[in-house]
Structure 1
């Protein structure tokens, strides 16, 4: 069974980030320029901190591609950390003679305390470097490769901001068309101008207090056929795989599909997506009157757009630190502070897109297989021939 798999390695202030991708079929057109736009989108967004002024992320393809096409072998990507120049001693691989000051002030809401306890460290930096959201640059690079693969089959993945700091976008309908150009031109990736200004104001209001704000994002994937995922085992259900992928992203605390938590207060007649008769399909098989389930039923795609919503907590590194304790003494101190953002919600949407793309690419290859892109395409087209009504009535 073919799978899209990946690994990342690297620390926030180390030399850089390494990505290894396995399972991409041979023959996929792929260049570094296919990855660059998503890396740039991740670095944008109102409320980002000083690190984004230092880095200019670029993914170098170091293996798995020849003359602009994938070879079917593992693909390796390298993203340099420009800030490494300022951390060569603190983050040196080899032993150093200089005594490096340890980080012992724990940050509430971060991996600091559980990470140091789990791995028996006496220096929080050993945890915070890898636990940093800097690692998401690698995920976005991998997601761009997955997105490039899915694009061969007409699949597109987008995201927009639903809320920041308690300010909500007026876009609430699951089927409301989104002006994606307006999303990309908005500093907070919200297509509504009034909501954009109010979200910026919420970020600005938090900054003088050394505080941070969170929010919500929505990811939509278009062009998916029915049949990705499976109902037969818990770990093959696509909704569960997507939820795990989203919640693995730094600062993400909740995820839902379609109406999500809203279904708890509604009756079944208000929730379930009525299947339309063939004369109302408009060229797409098995259309539904609504998409309250967000494009997945029973762990399997329905053919409707996939809609994922997720909540991002305010990041835990505050310029005005919260009370905490010292790892060495257990005595009360102020939490550690290191350069950070006020708001990462706009960037969070881009990272969520990447993780959805990765899960969908894996599900696609699981369903259609193929050692080459053309083999995958033949399998996909053959499958589409099988998904109409089982017995067509004569006209």
Structure 2
């Protein structure tokens, strides 16, 4: 199977299945000398692990990170970093009744069409549990970015019809929906309780803000920074929509409104008066905050009866058993944050060879 590797210099390869012995990632291209330990990774894994609230699957996993290689005496060695997270609470029997049926909204039919085989135990590589390797790699990328004064913060912007109206950074960590608006969180919780009562699920949106990103990262053609961010975020299983800055609203704007005027700040630095572009112009970061959003579909595994067909092409009704999130968004927040960090780390490392003066700083004599 191709397609499990992402990145150019800061390059990650995820491995493992939802109901296998474990999930993991190999990170190549991380510079030597970066302080790193499991303690840097675990908080990220804790944010996406199951069983955090009534709105997440009851699968009981500690999701404990083990660094197997690439770190010595608390610092990266420049060699591949291998991280493993063991699976401990697989209930594969929950899926025996769907082994020959294609679940609506899942990748079952497409996976079978491509490979002539599928792992029906939670979806195998198509499972959302695959993202745990991405989160571990994103945690490492975030450590690298913090060394450069760059922060990446994602949060729930909306759940179903409920959107945030205020922003309180501390509130994000006080509720399990990761919404920076307490009133919106309360409304969203009531909405999700109703979805659960109706054996249904909900979608939502995630917003991510990058602060401290310098101007000049990214490339102007196929490796545009926003294009690579789009690919990274759209590669997350539940994501069906993506936008940067004003996004789809630019279609209703005029140039005089949409253009971000440049100015000089009090420190003599070039900056912008507005940020409709979302921090990226011509595929290259412009020094403003990078602002991106994505839309996640409702969890396809719902308990109510659904119509489908089996592998013999016969119409059947199915009821999906097992432990499933009524909404994907709260646990996907950290996945969006992780994939964003991976793209930015890769862009910064790749950009070091763009100018001769940068090469001279390292190799000049």
Checking the alignment, whether the CA contact within 8 Å between 1:12 and 1:134 is kept in structure 2 is yes
- 1:215 and 2:204 correspond: yes
In structure 1, distance between residues paired with 2:296 and 2:344: 22
In structure 2, distance between residues paired with 1:131 and 1:321: 22
User: What's 2:57 paired with?
Assistant: 49
User: What's 1:145 paired with?
Assistant: 140
Checking the alignment, whether the CA contact within 8 Å between 1:9 and 1:18 is kept in structure 2 is yes
User: What's 1:326 paired with?
Assistant: 310
- Once superposed, which parts of structure 1, at least 4 consecutive aligned residues long, lie more than 4 Å away? none
- 1:227 and 2:216 correspond: yes
Superimposed CA distance per residue, residues 238-285 of structure 1 (whole angstroms, 9 cap, x where no aligned partner)? 100000000000100000001101111111111111101x2xx13373
Structure 1's 219 and 45: CA in aligned 2 closer, same or farther, altered over 3 A? farther
Structure 1's 328 and 336: CA in aligned 2 closer, same or farther, altered over 3 A? farther
1:164 to 151, 155, 159: 159
Structure 1: runs of 5+ lacking an equivalent: 92-99, 172-177, 370-377, 384-395
Shift of residue 126, structure 1, vs aligned partner = 7.0
In structure 2, distance between residues paired with 1:275 and 1:102: 57
Which of the two has greater strand per residue? 2
Shift of residue 337, structure 1, vs aligned partner = 3.6
User: What's 2:243 paired with?
Assistant: 256
Shift of residue 46, structure 1, vs aligned partner = 5.7
User: What's 2:4 paired with?
Assistant: none
User: Which of the pair has more CA radius of gyration?
Assistant: 1
2:229 to 203, 221, 242: 242
- 1:37 and 2:43 correspond: yes
In structure 2, distance between residues paired with 1:66 and 1:107: 45
- 1:12 and 2:23 correspond: no
- 1:104 and 2:100 correspond: yes
Checking the alignment, whether the CA contact within 8 Å between 2:19 and 2:121 is kept in structure 1 is no
Shift of residue 214, structure 1, vs aligned partner = 0.7
**Alignment of structure 1 residues 286-297 onto 2, 5 Å:** 286-297=270-281
- 1:72 and 2:78 correspond: yes
Checking the alignment, whether the CA contact within 8 Å between 1:105 and 1:333 is kept in structure 2 is no
- 1:268 and 2:263 correspond: no
User: What's 1:113 paired with?
Assistant: 109
In structure 2, distance between residues paired with 1:179 and 1:21: 34
What is the root-mean-square deviation in Å for CA atoms of aligned residues?
Answer: 2.3
Q: Report the secondary structure of 1:125's partner residue.
A: coil
2:185 to 196, 203, 223: 196
1:344 to 324, 328, 342: 328
Structure 1's 346 and 316: CA in aligned 2 closer, same or farther, altered over 3 A? same
Structure 1's 151 and 117: CA in aligned 2 closer, same or farther, altered over 3 A? same
Shift of residue 132, structure 1, vs aligned partner = 0.5
Checking the alignment, whether the CA contact within 8 Å between 1:45 and 1:344 is kept in structure 2 is no
In structure 1, distance between residues paired with 2:269 and 2:214: 9
